[in-house]
Amino acid sequence: MLQANLPNGLPGVRARAMTLVDVPAVHTLESQLFPADAWPLDMFLAEIVHPTRGYIVLETVQEGRNEAEIIGYAGLMSIAETADVQTIAIDPRHEGKGYGRALLDFLAREAAVRGAEQILLEVRADNARAQDLYQRNGYQQIHVRRGYYNDGVDALIMRKELLAPASTPNDDATSKTPEPTIESEAHHD
């Protein structure tokens, strides 16, 4: 179950929790976007019902039409102090509109609400556009996993700290731990 507020105010789309009914459409988009590394359908089904996970979709909103098209999705695993972006994607026809940034920001907020102090992700070494977005949103490269992807491409491991800065010298040493803060920016892979 999702705990953070969903992104809102995005032109032409709405965000909502991913459901089992969404999995076939999400899997189709996944297969188109990541042909060498697409998750199997069963993996999505297992992921979205797991209690340490949180998944959302972005779907189009069109006047006079009951049917919406899923144009993006994202998922998170959060255990103790560390969260991991499991997946994040936007249909290329809808890139450049801030949708991916909104998904990325949501994942960081969801991780913080769940108690994570940091969020990690893997990005293809040949995906400069996604790397740039992550860097602009506070992620820093911390490691390389050689040959991580099925086609032999390396994965860059990136991390973003979710905690507020450490207390100042004037703070009482017994004061409570600072609440997590998240920058108000967000992304896509």
Within-domain flag for 25: yes
Give the model confidence (pLDDT) of 51-70 as tens digits.
Answer: 999 999 999 987 667 778 99
- For all residues of the chain together, what is the average pLDDT? 86
- Let me know if residue 149 belongs to a domain: no
Report the alpha-carbon distance of residue 141 to residue 135 in Å, rounded.
Answer: 8
Please tell me the least confidently modeled range out of 30-34, 58-62, 106-110: 58-62
Largest CA distance in the chain: 59
* CATH number of the domain bearing residue 112: 3.40.630.30
Number of domains composing the chain: 1
Range of the domain at 105: 13-118
What is residue 124's three-state secondary structure? strand
